[in-house]
Structure 1
């Protein structure tokens, strides 16, 4: 693998590109800080795939049956079993396994009747696949302001729900931050707006005891490598709506073999949709599902480990000047696979902060970066939006928002070291011009 220096890594979006492996073996020509602080771990390193999942995948490869549908044979394919397992896990009537969370969001919008030119409310603080799903459906994204705690600004949502004409709110629980879903649902019900939840970062998480993804009409989850379960790429769509489920199965690409789904509406529902619903070929493969099924049972343990890291890091980070981590609501049962903090510095100082962190082997992402290739989470880089959004509050939030991955391999000592590096880098940046 080609090695990249840290200055270059600051321009890479590791939500879509794995960063280079960075260890103590990094060439000595790299400039390091004189204080000797050095982290150097690759924060994009995922949890290893379990032996059980590997054995399932190998057995499947030996059979050659990697496509989820078959014209002959008995039993149910791996994705159907995964759908059954995951629906039971979150308490949903239906689950449809698809190729990505982006595919799940696109299918959800189409199944809810979103057409070209329609307006769809969505979160400002999110990743680019969210507005991308709206663009894929030919619709127009109406961005809702983000609040200082990185969640939906309820006052702005109320205004835009009343005036935009949108009938769907694609709500992103970005980086695992969960808004008051009871309040969001009440507001959307008031205005006749269906909720689609982007739960790419909240698999296993709950609000007030109820799983995210089950508060609206449709929930969408990710199985991409950097999420809570990992098949490289993959997505899950959950719903209690018969018509949405039937359309999702057909759109995902079942070739009318919907009887191979364990969880499916009755045949009369498919009769309503099967001649008018396109096949978008977005189904999940047998291989991806085989990797994922054993991981559902690992979510609780992973959640505990991630939250311990989050708590430890949060304590250490907030020892630094100008650093704040918003408090979490007691009803928010989150699973934190990353941590975000606000850095109360101006942009040139933040650039200095990032440089000082990189000199100490620590890669931190900045949502307010002016470099489009560096991050796909800043709405100013989405030039395909049909209308330039007027969302000054979100801009202010993103301009000071830092993001740090928290792989499960992080130890308490690692968290302490990260806190020390952030404290030093922040102190240096705070005195720079």
Structure 2
């Protein structure tokens, strides 16, 4: 066995440019409502091709802010994929609306587009789609359903920085797209998120509501401390320190994505020869963000997943699970809506059988061969 390696599942890639940017902000004394946030919005908008970008404190905050701004609340329903992070549904619930869950499709783990129409009721106001692990949803089909029923489309792009759909960036096919910059994502601002939209009026409303509904921020006030509150809002701002990090990270995004996609393809080829695992029908190509590579164990090995993960950890390979349960099977949603095992069979299988493997830019192609060999050893140990 070769020398033990340390291969974490995710790791932010930052260096001197980010450090210098943070120190510059600290020396300047403006930590919120400053020029860095606006510069970051402009740089991410330019990189994605979006007309408007609104930086926020997190992707969850961005989604909640969007529903609030769009007037979605009590008595309304939003269609949500069962196979996603709880935040996708939490944003709906926090707005006072009801999350109506739809199962995943086998091939990609994305929402089963063919099942969306059947979930629409007279109370449905929006469809939330998640580009699961950065693989694009069939937005043409989703938008067709949305147009037919007069619904809004919210794209949860937390894992989709770099995902392309029909020649444009993810987040621009629906009405809004919400992104995450959590430390292990494609890029980071330490913590934070951003909302993309083509709607100028909505972008302005989001900027107003992310900061209490205050009409004038410090730099805009003729008299210090004098302002008005013109709408109910939140404290969902991004700080200048976070924005400064983000500006530098955007400059490195093309390189980050190239490394991810190359790693993904190498690892996929290495794993494809293992008969005891199944892979989604994606290849980490230019239309995908290649967030991670998730392999599926056969049902007979699902109960041994913890053993396999422990074996990989002992060999220095970090892993994760996307996600440990379908959201409607999580205690809060199960108790609130009375969901039962078998209600979302595809999402349940993915949650039960999958192991997510690292392909991030903190790793080299040679690490992919190490990961594949470690998996082969771990499976062999099960007999």
Please indicate, yes or no, whether the TM-score normalized by the shorter chain is above 0.5: yes
Over 3 Å counting, the alpha-carbon distance change for 1:45 and 1:358 in structure 2 is: same
Match of 1:298 among 229, 252, 256: 252
Q: Answer whether contact 2:155 2:171 (CA < 8 A) is retained.
A: yes
Determine if the alignment matches structure 1 residue 392 to structure 2 residue 336.
Answer: no
The equivalent of 2:226 in structure 1 is none
Indicate the residue corresponding to 1:91 in structure 2.
Answer: 49
Query: Residues of 2 paired with 1:426 and 1:158: CA distance?
Result: 41
How far the C-alpha of 1:138 sits from its partner, in A, is 1.6
- The answer (yes or no) to whether the contact 1:204–1:335 under 8 Å persists in 2 is yes
Bigger mean CA deviation after superposition, 307-316 or 287-296: 287-296
2:147 is the alignment partner of 1:189: yes
Show the counterpart of 2:273. 319
SS at match of 2:44: helix
After superposition, where does 1:282-431 map in structure 2 within 5 Å? 282-328=236-282, 333-346=287-300, 347-367=302-322, 375=324, 378-384=327-333, 386-389=336-339, 390-429=343-382, 431=383
1:203 to 135, 151, 161: 161
Instruction: Judge conservation of contact 2:58–2:181 (CA < 8 Å) in 1.
Output: yes
Question: Please, what TM-score do these two structures have when normalized by structure 1?
Answer: 0.79
For 1:67, the equivalent position in structure 2 comes to 32
TM superposition shift of 1:396: 2.2
Per the alignment, do residues 177 and 42 of structure 1 end up closer, same or farther by CA in structure 2, a change over 3 Å counting?
A: same
1:395 is paired with a residue of what secondary structure? Answer: helix
CA gap of 1:197–1:167, structure 2 versus 1, over 3 A, is same
- CA distance in structure 2 between the partners assigned to 1:237 and 1:259 by the alignment: 23
SS in 1 for 2:299: coil
How far is the alpha carbon of 1:307 from its aligned partner? 0.2
C-alpha distance 37-427 of structure 1, shift in aligned 2 (>3 A)? farther
Shift of 1:197: 0.6
Supply the RMSD in Å over aligned alpha carbons: 2.5
In structure 1, what is the equivalent of residue 215 of structure 2?
A: 256
Indicate the residue corresponding to 1:124 in structure 2: 82
Alpha-carbon contact 2:177-2:196 (below 8 Å) kept: yes
Q: Does 1:155 align with 2:120?
A: no
The CA deviation at 1:367 is: 4.6
Aligned residues of 1:208 and 1:332 also touching (Cα < 8 A): no
Residues 301 and 143 of structure 1, relative CA distance in 2, 3 Å threshold: same
Give 4+ residue runs of structure 1 displaced > 6 Å after superposition. 258-261, 329-332
Unaligned ranges ≥5, structure 2: 221-228
Whole-Å separation in 1 of the counterparts to 2:218 and 2:153: 28
Q: Quick check: 1:250–1:278 contact (8 Å CA) kept in 2?
A: no
1:41 counterpart = 2:7? yes
Deviates more, 1:396-405 or 1:213-222: 396-405
- Secondary structure (helix, strand or coil) at the match of 2:303 reads helix
Tell me the SS of whatever aligns to 1:86. Answer: helix
**Normalization by structure 2: what TM-score?**
0.88
Secondary structure in 2 aligned to 1:167?
strand
Alpha-carbon distance, 1:379 to partner: 3.8
